[in-house]
Amino acid sequence: MGNDGEGKADGEVAGRGDEEAHEASGRRARGELESDVLAALWAADGPLTARDVRGRLKGDLAYTTVLTILSRLYDKGMLARHREGRGHAYEPVRDEASHTAQRMHSLLKGGSDREAALARFVSELSEQDERLLHQLLSGQDGILPDNRRSPGER
C-alpha cells in the first residue's frame, strides 16, 4: 500500500530521494554544481582558471571536481576556454540572461501543452514582473539596452 514497487513511498516524487541524499551528505547534485560554476564565471570580470573558480565556490570541492564540471560545460558549448599556463581559463559564451532565456525556451519546447505552461507561468508572476512582461510584449522602447535586442529590432 505504501510502496509502488520501486521503493518509493506514496506521494514521493521520483528523483527526490537523490536530492535529499545529496543534501544529507553535504554534497551537491551535478546540475547544482554546474549552476554554481556558471554563477561564479558570470560574476567574474574575465576568464577564470579551475583554481580561481574553486576559490569562489562555497564548500570544499576537490580541484578535480571543479575541473570536471568546467570540462563538461565546455563540451556542452556553454564555455569558451583558452590556454593559460599549464591549464585553461574559462568564460561563459553567453551572459546569464541569455542562458536563462534559452533554458526557458527549451523547457517550453519540450512540454506537451505550451498554452497551459505559459498560462501557469504568467499566473504566477509578481505584479512587477507582470508589468515588465507587458511592457516587453508591447514593444515599449527603453526596456532593454540596444545591444540586447536582435539585429532586426534596432
Does 59 map to a domain?
A: yes
Assess whether pLDDT exceeds 50 at residue 8. Answer: no
How confident is residue 142, by pLDDT bands cut at 50, 70 and 90? low
Q: How many domains does the chain have?
A: 2
Write out pLDDT tens, residues 22-58: 444 556 676 899 999 999 999 999 999 999 999 999 9
In a shared domain, residues 55 and 111: no
Q: Which domain holds residue 135?
A: 96-140
In a shared domain, residues 100 and 88: no
CA distance 55 to 36: 12
Q: What is the pTM of this model?
A: 0.66
Long-range contacts, 98-107 (Cβ 8 Å, 24+): 99/38
Write out pLDDT tens, residues 65-101: 999 999 999 999 999 999 999 999 999 999 999 999 9
Q: What is the pLDDT of residue 139?
A: 82
Does 1 map to a domain?
A: no
Does 57 map to a domain?
A: yes
CB 9 within 8 A of CB 3: yes
